[in-house]
Structure formats: structure tokens, C-alpha cells
Amino acid sequence: MWIPGFGRYSPREGNRVGDPAPDFTLPDQDGNEVTLSEQLGEKPVVLVFYPIAGSPVCTKQMCSLRDGWAELMGKANVFGLSYDGVESLKKFKQDHKLPFTLISDSDKKAAKAFGVAGTFAAARVTVIIGTDGKIKKVIDGIKAGDHAKQILEAL
């Protein structure tokens, strides 16, 4: 169910399967810059856009990734992205022992580029980028509790 003010995936030139992934540089939960193009290489990159750190469904979704981490980390570089600020992301990561990097997209730069931006929050959408830098899969029917499985099946 879509909630007004939250994003929805809007495919368009530049964010569709087969297109080169839009590059971005944004801070992680520790304030360090993460540049998408620098993450590309031996493994695919998985960008998990989610609405709000700490909300019940987002927590369930991120904990699914944590619980599937042993298998995920061998197959992809995984990043969680939301509009939350660095401090909120740091707390969320610590509180739930999340082993992957969380990225603050507070200016909506990445969400807009990938077509998932909303007024208040990004859409719950995952984008898988191949080692060649092209978008390989977009998952927009997220099942929060089974999201790690969804990603592994898509990889």
C-alpha cells in the first residue's frame, strides 16, 4: 500500500534495468563519504532504499538483511539508504547490530536519481547494480521479513 508523501519507483531513462547506475557521493553513518562508482568491482552493489530508520517495518527489513548477512556479504556489497541524518543512522545501526553500511540521503540526491524519491521518505525499493555498473534488477515488491531472501534470489 502506497502512503502519500512516500516515494514510489518511477522508471525512466537513467534508472531502469540495463541503464548505467547514477553515481553519487553521500555520507555514511559515521560521516565518511561513500561514492557509488568506487564500490563497483568484484561483486554487485545492492542499494536498499527504505523510508525511516527505526520504524517497525524498516527495522524488520534491515534485520532481515542482518540475519542473512553471512550469505549476502559473499555475493554483494550492500548499502541501506534513507533520508535520515548521520546520527540517526548511527544509532539505528548500533541498536540493531546492522553489519552493513547505512547511507544518509538527506538531500534526496540518490533517491531522485534512482526514481524512488518521495516528499517525506524514499520508496521501499532495492536496486541491484552489476559489476559493470549497470542496473541489473529493481525489487519494488519488498517483503520486509524476507528481504534478504529476495535479494539472494535476484543475485
The strand pair at 125-129 and 101-104 is best described as unpaired
CA–CA distance, 104 with 10 (Å, rounded to integer): 21
Given the residues 34, 47, 58, 138, the one annotated as active site: 58
Q: Are 9 and 140 in contact (CB under 8 A)?
A: yes
C-alpha cell recorded at residue 67: 540475519
CA–CA distance, 127 with 113 (Å, rounded to integer): 12
Residue 58 annotated as catalytic: yes
C-alpha cell recorded at residue 118: 518521495
CA–CA distance, 41 with 149 (Å, rounded to integer): 23
CA–CA distance, 125 with 47 (Å, rounded to integer): 8
CA–CA distance, 70 with 58 (Å, rounded to integer): 20
Residues designated as active site: 58
